[in-house]
Structure 1
Amino acid sequence: MADRSLRGIRLGAQSLQSEEGVVFMERTQYTYACTSCGRDTTLTFAADAEAPEAWECRTCGAEAVLRVGDKTAVVDHSEDKIPRTHWDMLLERRSRPELEELLEERLAFIRARRGAGEDVTAQKIGA
């Protein structure tokens, strides 16, 4: 313990752990070429890990494709899930004429309430 004295050390500034006796995993470097800005990104993975075909570019955020030799890998986007908007989900439940009818009913209710001078907040609260 004499060589690892805690006296006079700043908390959190230095680690008391050493890399002595640690065996690092074999690693492999892969290069990804950005499809937008053209920059290369080199990433390090474990040797037994399978490198993904695409990675996000660190510079511009676009898709960077794995480069194998002089060629780039072909990324298959056929199984990618297309994000649905709220409007898409609404159209799955109701038809457009139903939505227009509901809109007209709601607008008529709002116009009638404004004309009667009712307080909107009191109606929501239930007072």
Structure 2
Amino acid sequence: MAERALRGARLGTQSFEDERGVEMAPRQQVEYICADGHTFSVTMADEADIPYEWEDPKTGQIGTRVEGGEPLVKNEKAVRTHWDMLLERRSVKELEEILTERLELLRGGEIGPPHLHRPVKKAAKKAPAKKSA
């Protein structure tokens, strides 16, 4: 097996292909500025959607685009809770009626976990022990 091994070739980290004849995609440099005045640039493709903010790879600060104006504000839907969705289907009066019906069934033992409906067994009282004189 040692005869077949490729020695000195870092196969996992090095490519043997050269870049001759390869045409790179058109690129652009986008400049960002941090709150403290530090600027940095990022290389991006020409057709890429350029984000308004970018994290500086050296300092970790968030920079905003030097030339680009304000970011587009997306219209986000308000978060709907379970209660909101329930109120779309039923009125509060209907919900109160359903709750009353279900509570009656639960208290009557017709629905719910079985351990809530078993008769409770009382422990037998022990007779006091006799004292020897």
TM-score of the pair, normalised by structure 2: 0.49
- 2:33, 2:66 within 8 Å by CA — same for their partners in 1? yes
The answer for unaligned runs of 5 or more in structure 1 is: 1-5, 123-127
Q: Which residue of 2 aligns with 1:13?
A: 12
Deviation at 1:30, TM superposition (A): 0.9
> Over aligned residues, Cα RMSD in angstroms?
4.2
Query: Secondary structure of 1:74's match?
Result: coil
- 2:32, 2:39 within 8 Å by CA — same for their partners in 1? yes
The reply to whether residue 117 of structure 1 matches residue 112 of structure 2 is no
Pair member with larger Rg: 2
Higher strand proportion: 1
Whole-angstrom CA distance in 2 between matches of 1:49 and 1:110: 60
Aligned residues: 105
Work out which of the residue numbers 65, 75, 83 in structure 1 matches 2:71: 75
Do the aligned partners of residues 8 and 44 (structure 1) sit closer, same or farther apart at CA in structure 2, a change above 3 Å counting?
Answer: same
Q: Give CA-to-partner distance per residue, 1:83-103, whole Å, 9 cap, x none.
A: 232349638845xxx531232
Higher helix proportion: 1
- Give the share of equivalent positions with the same residue, in percent: 17
- 1:90 corresponds to which letter in structure 2? M
Do the aligned partners of residues 50 and 115 (structure 1) sit closer, same or farther apart at CA in structure 2, a change above 3 Å counting?
Answer: closer
Whole-angstrom CA distance in 2 between matches of 1:39 and 1:106: 62
Q: Give CA-to-partner distance per residue, 1:28-47, whole Å, 9 cap, x none.
A: 22123467x9876642112x
Whole-angstrom CA distance in 2 between matches of 1:41 and 1:120: 64
Do the aligned partners of residues 56 and 114 (structure 1) sit closer, same or farther apart at CA in structure 2, a change above 3 Å counting?
Answer: farther
The reply to whether residue 108 of structure 1 matches residue 100 of structure 2 is yes
TM-score of the pair, normalised by structure 1: 0.50
Do the aligned partners of residues 17 and 8 (structure 1) sit closer, same or farther apart at CA in structure 2, a change above 3 Å counting?
Answer: closer
Equivalent runs, 1:35-46 vs 2, <5 Å: 42-46=41-45
Q: Give CA-to-partner distance per residue, 1:66-91, whole Å, 9 cap, x none.
A: 212xxx612342xx222232349638
- 1:101 corresponds to which letter in structure 2? K
